[in-house]
Structure 1
């Protein structure tokens, strides 16, 4: 079976300015692909290229095995949901949803049937006679999604659809979107700059920076094995701790030396990664630094001077200085960590990432 979306060596330039550089993506039917990255990284431009709203400068693009590189947007069998909703203010919700079908000459019985199905899926049946001005932001977003869903397209494209909603509603709509994807088994491409949104929704994530794909993988791959320092820093909240360290080989294992503000350096030993250069950046997620407990081979304890303690409900964040950087540990709410006091913490060396300070690339 051919991929539902396949992009090969795609380039996009405006004049001499390259916006997208050698983009290669392939997703299967039913995938939920999230394009994530900071503002200006090219993710919305890429979405517009997939939609056909922007011509591409080089490469090609296939949807369900058909070359769509020079095909107009209306013939690509896609449906797009925009950040701004783009609803017709003078039409009722029902007319907004069925308008596209009416234009394409779909018979009234089919229109009514699809409208009823979509209204039920999105729980907007009571709103069908209202106009967009009488709806909340979340309701308008549902209507915009309904208009896309009645198309039953090969590919749904979402451009930051939740960014106009308040924080609580965003979380609710995120859950609804995920449930909708699971019910429909539809193929979706979704743009966001919110990495939590990316992690929770995606079956596959593409992390972009400066028009270049930094990494493509499942949420677990991106989170646990970031390909470079940018991905490590961008994905995860709080971000991965990135600590400069020195290594030296000693009797079949590597000693990792991390400087401390006061006192001797912390020495951690790693028997699994023996080919590390002398200078590394060690990446460790806050949840992989814990209160000292019975240790197994990969958990190693060190005394750390806690500078700041931030209770956050189920978690408590403790901040210290290691390797000249602020390092955050995600401890349980029962922790005894106290600001200004040294605390024995364990580091899970089975979960750490190593990066080259020169190239920023992953070493293990």
Structure 2
């Protein structure tokens, strides 16, 4: 099956400044691709290049097998949902949704049929006679989505559509967008700086930094096998613990030594057949550090650590200790006995450890 979107060696520059550098990415029909990264990484610029709102400096862009590199936005068979909703304030909800169809010359009967179908799908059929000023932020976003849906495009583009909503409404709308994707099997490219949004919505994630793709993969691949230190630190909440360590061969295993303030180093043993240098950054997710007795496995090792801080968070409790000169977070059960200033036996799951090169940041295992 041909990709619905295929980008090859795309570059975007403003004068001498390179904004996007050799972007290569493709998605299959029905994929939900999320472009994620910090502000200024180039994700919105890439979305605008896909939409045709920004001319590209070099490379090629195909949509549904057709070369769209230099084609006008109106001829790309796309629909875009903006952060600002971009609704006409003097028009009713119904007219906002059908306006594009009217401009394209769709007959009145088809306009009304599509309006009814989309309004019921988005549960806004009771709002059709209202104007945008009479709607909540979530309702306005549904109207903006409805306007895109009636087009039945090859590709939907979403530019941070939830960033203007409060936290509770963001979660609700995220669920609605995921349901829509599953119902319609639509092909979507979605921009966000929120890595939780990226993890929950995407079938494929593109992590960007400084106009360069850092990693492309499924949410599970990005989370469990980050390609470098940037991805490891950016994806996940709380972020992956990144701990400097010394490595030495010890028979068939690796001896992992981590400094601790005012006490002997923490020593762990990794039996995996890895090729590691003498200095590494050891990456371990907070959920892979448990209270002793609450984690089992062949590669789970226990050690006593001094607790610096305890942060209750409802179903979880986060416990912070100092290891390798870094603040290391463990995600423990809510009823933990951990107390600040007291030692606590922790279990480290060495099977889940990622190792990174300190100089380049690249993944080593």
TM-score normalised by L of structure 1: 0.99
Matched, 1:324 2:325: yes
Q: Where does residue 164 of structure 1 map in the other structure?
A: 164
Q: Where does residue 308 of structure 1 map in the other structure?
A: 309
Q: Where does residue 352 of structure 2 map in the other structure?
A: 351
Deviation above 6 Å: which 4+ runs of structure 1? none
Q: Please give the alpha-carbon distance, in whole angstroms, between the structure 1 residues aligned to 2:356 and 2:262.
A: 25
Q: Please give the alpha-carbon distance, in whole angstroms, between the structure 1 residues aligned to 2:273 and 2:308.
A: 31
Q: Where does residue 283 of structure 1 map in the other structure?
A: 283
Q: 8 Å contact 1:155–1:189 — kept in the other structure?
A: yes
Q: Where does residue 361 of structure 2 map in the other structure?
A: 360
Q: Where does residue 55 of structure 2 map in the other structure?
A: 55
The count of corresponding residues between Structure 1 and Structure 2 is: 364
Task: Report how far residue 295 of structure 1 moved.
Answer: 4.0
Q: Please give the alpha-carbon distance, in whole angstroms, between the structure 1 residues aligned to 2:120 and 2:273.
A: 54
Q: Where does residue 154 of structure 1 map in the other structure?
A: 154
What are the equivalent positions in structure 2 for 1:195-206 lying under 5 Å apart? 195-206=195-206
Q: 8 Å contact 1:249–1:274 — kept in the other structure?
A: no
Q: Secondary structure at the match of 1:33?
A: strand
Q: Where does residue 248 of structure 1 map in the other structure?
A: 248
Q: Please give the alpha-carbon distance, in whole angstroms, between the structure 2 residues aligned to 1:33 and 1:244.
A: 33
Matched, 1:113 2:113: yes
Q: Please give the alpha-carbon distance, in whole angstroms, between the structure 2 residues aligned to 1:30 and 1:274.
A: 38
Q: Where does residue 24 of structure 2 map in the other structure?
A: 24
Matched, 1:70 2:70: yes
Q: Please give the alpha-carbon distance, in whole angstroms, between the structure 2 residues aligned to 1:21 and 1:36.
A: 16
Q: Where does residue 342 of structure 1 map in the other structure?
A: 343
Q: Secondary structure at the match of 1:340?
A: coil
Which segments of 5 or more consecutive residues in structure 2 lack a partner in the other structure?
A: none
Task: Report how far residue 264 of structure 1 moved.
Answer: 1.0
RMSD: 0.7
Q: Is the alpha carbon distance of 1:110 and 1:152 closer, same or farther for their aligned partners in structure 2, counting shifts above 3 Å?
A: same
Q: Where does residue 174 of structure 1 map in the other structure?
A: 174
Q: Where does residue 39 of structure 1 map in the other structure?
A: 39
Q: Please give the alpha-carbon distance, in whole angstroms, between the structure 1 residues aligned to 2:252 and 2:91.
A: 73
Q: Please give the alpha-carbon distance, in whole angstroms, between the structure 2 residues aligned to 1:109 and 1:317.
A: 58
Q: Please give the alpha-carbon distance, in whole angstroms, between the structure 2 residues aligned to 1:275 and 1:146.
A: 53
Task: Report how far residue 334 of structure 1 moved.
Answer: 1.5
TM-score normalised by L of structure 2: 0.99
Task: Report how far residue 275 of structure 1 moved.
Answer: 1.0
Q: Please give the alpha-carbon distance, in whole angstroms, between the structure 2 residues aligned to 1:60 and 1:5.
A: 11
Q: Please give the alpha-carbon distance, in whole angstroms, between the structure 2 residues aligned to 1:17 and 1:312.
A: 44
Which segments of 5 or more consecutive residues in structure 1 lack a partner in the other structure?
A: none
132-141 or 289-298, larger mean C-alpha shift: 289-298
Q: Please give the alpha-carbon distance, in whole angstroms, between the structure 2 residues aligned to 1:363 and 1:93.
A: 54
Q: 8 Å contact 1:252–1:274 — kept in the other structure?
A: no
Task: Report how far residue 269 of structure 1 moved.
Answer: 0.6
CA deviation map 1:20-72 (0-9, x unaligned): 00000010000000000000000000000000000000000000111100110
Q: Please give the alpha-carbon distance, in whole angstroms, between the structure 2 residues aligned to 1:134 and 1:155.
A: 30
Q: 8 Å contact 1:245–1:258 — kept in the other structure?
A: yes
Q: Please give the alpha-carbon distance, in whole angstroms, between the structure 2 residues aligned to 1:162 and 1:342.
A: 42
